Amino acid sequence: MSSRLLSGIVCVGLVAVLAFLALAWRPAIAPIETPAPQSFAPELVAKGKMLASAGNCQSCHTVEGGQPFAGGVGIPTPFGTIYSTNITPDRTVGIGAWSLAAFERAMREGVGRDGKHLFPAFPYDHFARLTDDDVTALYAYLMTVAPVNAVQPANTVPFPLDIRALQAGWKMLFFRPGPSLPDPQRSAGWNRGAYLSEGLAHCGACHTPRNVLGAESRGLPYDGAVIKDGWIAWPLDVSPSPARWTKDSFIAYLKGETTENHGRALGPMGPVIHGLKALPGEDIAAIADYFMSFNRPLRPKADALAQQALERSRTIGQDRRERGRQLYVGACASCHDDGGTAPLATRARLPLTTALWHDRPNNFVLTVRNGVGAPDDAPGPPMPPFAASLSDSEIVAIADYLRHTRLGLPKWPAELYDEIASP
C-alpha cells in the first residue's frame, strides 16, 4: 500500500518536473552571418550609441581598462557573482551570430540565442519596456563595435541555483513582460521620463529594494537599497534630506553638477550620470518631471529643518564632541563649512547632504574614505581620499560631530558601521 502511494507521489512529481521543463524550454534561434557594419544606416547606429550610453550597457559590459562591451564585469548578488557577457559582434563568444530577433528576445524576455534563460543581474526586466525602434537601434550599434574575442569568468552561483531553467519560475513569479504603455492622463514629458526611467535607464535596478529572491519589491518602488561595496542608492520616493528637490536641482544633479542642496552624484551613481550625458536636455528634464511627480521629503516640516541645519552650521561654537570637531577642522573645514563662514560656492553643503541625513552611515563613510576624485568631475580642488589618514573611529567621530551640530540628530548606532568596516 505505502509503496504504491510512494510511486504515485514520484509519478506526480515527475509529471510536475516535466511540465515545468516544458514551460521553461525556449528554442535556439538559428545563427546568422554577421551583418556588415555598413549595412546599418549611420543615423540608426548613432541613435543606438546614444541609447547604449543612457542604458549603461558599456559600463556593465566593460571591465576597467578593458575592451568596450567585451564583458567580464562581476555583478555581486546574494546568490553569487554573475559576470556580464561579451556583447561585441564576435561570432564565437560575442553576439556576432545573433539575429535581431535573437537580440530582441534577450532584451524583452531574458533568453539567450541558444535558448538559455538569463539571470536578472542583466536588467532585462527593465529593457522589456523598450520600443521596437529603440531595440533595433541598439542592435545596429552593437553590431558595428569592434569584435573582441574574450570570454567572461565563470559565475559563482552555487548548484542548484545555477540551473538556468529555474529562472523560468522566477519569471513566472516576478517578471511582467511587455513594453511600457503611456498614461494618457499625464503630459508627454512625464511619459517620456517614465519610459526612460523604468526602461532604458533602469533606475529601479539600484534604487528599489529587492526581495529574498532578488526581484525588485513591487510595493516599495524607489525606496532605496544597499547595492555594491556598501553604497546605498538613496530613496527617490522620499528624500531623507529635508532640502526639497526642485525640477531644476534634479536636472542639475542628473547632469553631473554639484547642487547646492543635494551635493553631487558619487560612487556607483557616477557612471549612471556619465551615461545620461548622451541624452538631449529634454530627456533629462523628462526624467526630472517623472520623479518630481512623486518625490517628497521624508520628514515633516522639512523646510524648517533645512533652515535650522543651515543656521546651525553658521553658529556652532564649542562642542562637547571635541575630538570630532578637531578632526573636522583639521581635515575638512578648509573645503566645507567651518561652522562660521559661508561654504565655498562650488561645494556641496554638508548640513543638507543625504549622506548625513539618511539613517545609515554607508555613503558618508565611503565618500570620506574614497574622496571625490577626477572621475567624479568635481570642480575646484578634489576631495582627497582619507582612507589612509583617518581611522574608522576618527571618521565616526566626525560623523557624530556633524550629525549633532548641523542636523540635531543622534549619532548612528555603532553596529551600523559593521557592514562598511575597513578590511
* Segment 180 to 199, residues that bind ligand HEC, using CB under 6 A: 197
Nearer to ligand HEC, 14 or 164 (CB): 164
> Residues 263, 324, 339, 361: which binds ligand HEC (CB under 6 A)?
263
Which residue number, 228 or 301, has a Cβ lying nearer to ligand HEC?
A: 228
User: Minimum Å distance from CB 204 to ligand HEC?
Assistant: 8
The closest alpha carbon to 368, from 346, 344, 384, belongs to 384
Residues 40, 190, 231, 412: which binds ligand HEC (CB under 6 A)?
Answer: 231
Q: Given the complex with ligand HEC, which of 1 and 76 has the nearer CB atom?
A: 76
Residue closer to ligand HEC (CB basis): 8 or 207: 207
Q: What is the dihedral of CA 113, 52, 201, 136, to 10 degrees?
A: -60
Residues in region 45-104 near ligand HEC by CB under 6 A: 52, 55-57, 60-61, 75, 82, 84-85, 87, 95, 103
Task: Enumerate residues 380-399 that contact ligand HEC by CB under 6 A.
Answer: 380-383, 386, 398
If one asks whether residue 202 binds ligand HEC (CB under 6 A), the answer comes out as yes
* 313 scored as a contact of ligand HEC (CB under 6 A): no
- Are the beta carbons of 37 and 144 closer than 8 angstroms? yes
Helix (H) or strand (E) holding 68: none
273: three-class secondary structure by DSSP: helix
Q: Does 335 bind ligand HEC (CB under 6 A)?
A: yes
Q: Read out DSSP for 333-345?
A: TTTS--SSSPPPT
Q: Is 225 helix (H, G, I), strand (E, B) or coil?
A: strand
Amino acid 44 reads L
Identify the burial level of 257 via C-beta atoms within 10 angstroms of its C-beta, where 0-12 means exposed, 13-18 middle and 19 or more buried.
middle
| Binding string, residues 126-165; x marks residues near ligand HEC by CB under 6 A | -x----------x---------------------------
The nearest distance, CB 12 to ligand HEC, in angstroms, is 31
Specify the stretch interacting with ligand HEC by CB under 6 A; choose among 176-184, 261-269, 304-312, 414-422: 261-269
The verdict on 222 binding ligand HEC (CB under 6 A) reads: no
E-state strands within 329-384: none
> What backbone phi and psi angles, to 5 degrees, belong to 115?
95, 0
Closest separation between CB of residue 308 and ligand HEC, Å? Answer: 18
How many residues touch ligand HEC under the rule CB under 6 A: the total is 73
CA distances from 178 to 30, 175, 375 (A): 24, 10, 36
Q: Does 310 bind ligand HEC (CB under 6 A)?
A: no
In our burial notation (b when 16+ CB lie closer than 10 A, e otherwise), range 6-36 reads eeeeeeeeeeeeeeeeeebebeebeeeebbe
